[in-house]
Amino acid sequence: MAAQAESLPKEVDNDAPDSNREISQHQRQLSQMLKKIKHDVTLLGVLSLGKDGILRSLTADRQVVDAVALSPPLIKAMLDRMPFNPQNEIDYRGVDGTNVPREQWFHPDKDLLPAPLVVSDERRREAEAMVEENKKWLKEKAEANHDPCIWSDHDLGLGKSN
């Protein structure tokens, strides 16, 4: 475990909470969720963590392909896989996606979604022609076992018990 800590970015190494085992548990749980989430098979979509605590798989046009509600520890786990952004600590403190009605997971307010991706008709045709190949690639990726890359240690006020 100590060898892993030495390879982490400085902000994680210096300020990592004492509950590394618990964070690892949440990271493992998040990894399992990410393996199961459905993706836009054109690979033009994105995963987006809404400020409501819902992780959504979106198409380029921002239609929801799949969604999962994240608890506060899982929100932190997701944010910690991204470079540190102090605004995230403000935006996601106290957020619990498990309290969001399921209807809103798939039909969110547009302000919760990133702007649509502008894609040329030619690029869309190319992406649609590769759907079967993309499905195979997504399946292989979901079956692979990789440790998550932790970039930061966001403080969402969860304390050591969460």
The pLDDT mean for the chain works out to 83
**Nearest residue to 150 (alpha-carbon basis) of 13, 14, 46:** 13
* pLDDT above 90 (res 61): yes
With respect to residue 62, please indicate whether it lies within any of the assigned structural domains: yes
- Cβ–Cβ under 8 Å, residues 66 and 56: yes
Six-digit token pair at 4?
A: 């892993």
With respect to residue 61, please indicate whether it lies within any of the assigned structural domains: yes
In the sheet that holds 46-49, the strands lie side by side as 46-49, 54-58, 64-69
Query: Structure pTM?
Result: 0.73
* pLDDT above 60 (res 28): yes
Selected residue with higher pLDDT from 35 and 160: 35
Task: Provide the pLDDT for residue 160.
Answer: 60
With respect to residue 155, please indicate whether it lies within any of the assigned structural domains: no
With respect to residue 16, please indicate whether it lies within any of the assigned structural domains: yes
Q: Which residues pair with 144 in a beta bridge?
A: none
- Mind listing the pLDDT tens digit for each residue in 115-157? 998 888 898 888 888 888 888 887 888 888 777 888 899 999 9
With respect to residue 103, please indicate whether it lies within any of the assigned structural domains: yes
| Residue ranges making up the domain that contains 56 | 2-143
With respect to residue 67, please indicate whether it lies within any of the assigned structural domains: yes
With respect to residue 154, please indicate whether it lies within any of the assigned structural domains: no
With respect to residue 150, please indicate whether it lies within any of the assigned structural domains: no
How far from 88 is each of 51, 53, 79, 83, CA to CA, in Å? 9, 12, 8, 10
Our count of domains for the chain comes to: 1
* Three-state secondary-structure class, residue 84: coil
